[in-house]
Chains A and B, each alone.
Chain A
């Protein structure tokens, strides 16, 4: 058994994260040094498993690529937005120490990763029955939403009580973490690769997740313009606007791909 910390194996840590995450707290003390390496290992393993399932839609090297990228996407909101989230809770009147927030967030992400991994077999079954690409994307998003909602609930339950604007702080933190998660996922895409598309570890930076959501919304109403996202280098927007991409020939639809 791999040791998660000095006293707890990874399996024991998994059981406690799933059954009673609050029991990991030692009174008001946060045993961060003892728990963080084990929790990181859990996110890596469980997120990696979920990534393998996602990568199975395209198969081949995408198994590995998705297994590497999924844990990174899950961890990004913590690594990027934790100080901002703490500031929001302090503004909401919640006396929150940084170590307590890091612990709560890490346990929340670990629990979400484990639940996502638990949904893996069902998702794998769905992907193996010639599921349409867009439906496959929606199924993956639904699984991540369910796991993420439970993870966020876990995190909120592990934070100290009090605070006049606690609910506002929860909502604002949800928005901040959600935006970072969505944009992080967009930057590290593709996870599910279309059957005929070229596999790449990451795609070049183009537009952002919000323009993609806008295009998806327009296409749902019958307007298919805007899917060819223009290349926008981060520090040279003018250059990006000048280089219009060549329209690519549409690939022949295969394996349940959309025919429109």
Chain B
């Protein structure tokens, strides 16, 4: 014999509240760019996913430098949290810079996958195009490296401020770094057959 489960009204109320909060959490996470698996998990176990509400999801098809970008940005945020620079606020431009970095990295990933999928061929056109794409990839990777170095320099400058109280031209620095990333967009417009 199998008996149906009976629930008290309070249990129904609590369960409904839990599900509503889970749904709200799932919608927020999905809007912040987190994968569907994360949003689905939050629907059932939202208390575990609360820390992710403060972060944005990684772009789909992340590239080879994703971990380094994440580490550099995390280190920058940690530097801001250090004693002595509590009143230092990173401008909103940083979010844009990070987003540009991830986008550039994703494009590197696309190129890597393309290069890996091309089977070796002796046809002159294929060889030429592959070499051209390889050069463009190397140039883009170099720009991303330079921006990551710039982020490290920015972190050191913030440390200098904590020590000597110097003012840090953060906005100007970020503008320079975004300018470097814009150079990658120009590379994108490069004519492969040029």
Residues of A within 8 A of B (CB): 5-6, 26-29, 32-33, 36-37, 40, 61, 75, 78-80, 82-83, 97-99, 102, 105-106, 198-202, 204-205, 233-235
Task: Check A33 against B50 for contact (C-beta < 8 Å).
Answer: no
| A28 partner residues in chain B, CB cutoff 8 A | 74
Q: Are A26 and B67 in contact (CB-based, < 8 A)?
A: yes
Please tell me if the beta carbons of A79 and B45 are within 8 angstroms of each other in the complex: yes
In the bound complex, residues from chain A placing their C-beta under 8 Å from that of B55 are 33
Supply 10 A–B pairs (Cβ within 8 Å), ascending by A: A6-B35, A26-B70, A33-B55, A61-B2, A80-B47, A98-B51, A198-B1, A202-B7, A205-B8, A234-B10
State in angstroms the CA–CA spacing of A40 and B5 once bound together. 25
Q: Is B123 an interface residue (CB 8 A)?
A: no
> Distance in Å from the Cβ of A35 to the closest Cβ of chain B?
10
Evaluate contact between A201 and B48: CB separation under 8 angstroms.
no
Assess A75 versus B45: contact at CB under 8 Å? Given A32-B52, A33-B52, A36-B38. yes
B169 in the interface (beta carbon within 8 A): no
In the complex, which residues 7-45 of chain B have their Cβ closer than 8 Å to any Cβ of chain A?
7-8, 10-11, 34-35, 37-38, 40-41, 44-45
A32 and B37 CA atoms in complex are apart in Å by 12
User: Hey, which chain A residues are within 8 Å of B58, CB to CB?
Assistant: 33
> How far does the alpha carbon of A79 sit from the alpha carbon of B15 in the complex, in Å?
13
The reply to whether B2 and A235 contact each other, CB–CB distance below 8 Å, is no
Q: What residues of chain B lie closer than 8 Å to A29, measured between beta carbons?
A: 70-71, 74
Inter-subunit contact B41/A201 (CB<8 Å): no
Shortest distance between the CB of B109 and any CB in chain A (Å): 11
Known interface pairs A33-B34, A40-B45, A75-B45; A199-B52 also in contact (CB < 8 Å)? no
Residue of A nearest to B42 (CB): A36
**CB-based contact B47/A201 at 8 Å:** no
Known: A37-B40, A233-B8. A198 touches B67 (CB 8 A): no
Q: Is the CB–CB distance between B48 and A106 below 8 Å?
A: yes
Instruction: Give chain B residues whose Cβ lies under 8 Å from the Cβ of A201.
Output: 3-5
A36 touches B41 (CB 8 A): yes
Residue of A98, A199, A200, A205 near B50 (CB, 8 A) is A98
A residues in contact with B10, CB < 8 Å: 234-235
Contact call A78/B52, Cβ cutoff below 8 A:
no
Closest B residue to A62 using CB positions = B2
CB-CB < 8 A to A202: which residues of B? 5, 7
Residues of B within 8 A of A36 (CB): 38, 41, 45, 48-49
Across-interface contacts of B2 in A (CB, < 8 A): 61, 198-200
**CB < 8 Å: which of B7, B47, B51 contacts A99?**
B51
Q: Does B167 contact A (CB under 8 A)?
A: no
| Cβ-closest 6 pairs across A and B | A99-B51, A37-B37, A200-B3, A201-B5, A198-B1, A37-B41
Q: Is the CB of B8 within 8 A of A40?
A: no
In chain A, what residue has the closest Cβ to B57? A33
Compute how far the CA of A82 lies from the CA of B49 in the bound complex, rounded to whole angstroms. Answer: 12
Cβ of B50: which chain A residues have Cβ within 8 Å of it? 98, 102
Q: Are B71 and A102 in contact (CB under 8 A)?
A: no
Q: Collect the chain B residues with CB atoms within 8 Å of residue A105's CB.
A: 48
Known contacts A82-B47, A82-B48; A33/B5 CB under 8 A:
no
Taken together as a complex, chains A and B put the C-alpha atoms of A75 and B67 apart, in Å, by: 30
**What residue in chain B is nearest A3 (Cβ atoms)?**
B37
Query: How many Å lie between the Cα of A6 and that of B67 in the bound state?
Result: 13
User: In the complex, are the beta carbons of B3 and A198 less than 8 A apart?
Assistant: yes
Q: In the bound complex, what is the Cα–Cα distance between A199 and B41 (angstroms)?
A: 30
Residue of A nearest to B50 (CB): A98
- Whether a CB of chain A sits under 8 angstroms from the CB of B6 is yes
Give the nearest-CB partner of B33 in chain A: A33
**From B67, which residue of chain A is reached at the shortest CB distance?**
A26
- CB pair B6–A204 under 8 Å, yes or no, is yes
Q: Indicate if the CB atoms of A200 and B62 lie closer than 8 Å.
A: no
Which residue on chain A has the smallest CB distance to residue B1?
A198
Contacts of B5 on A, CB cut-off 8 Å? 200-202
- Complex: how many Å from CA A40 to CA B47? 13
Complex alpha-carbon distance, A234 and B51, angstroms: 32
Chain B, 56-104, CB within 8 A of any chain A CB: 57-58, 62, 67, 70-71, 74
B44, chain A: closest CB distance, angstroms: 8
Question: Quick check: B38 and A102 within 8 Å, CB to CB?
Answer: no
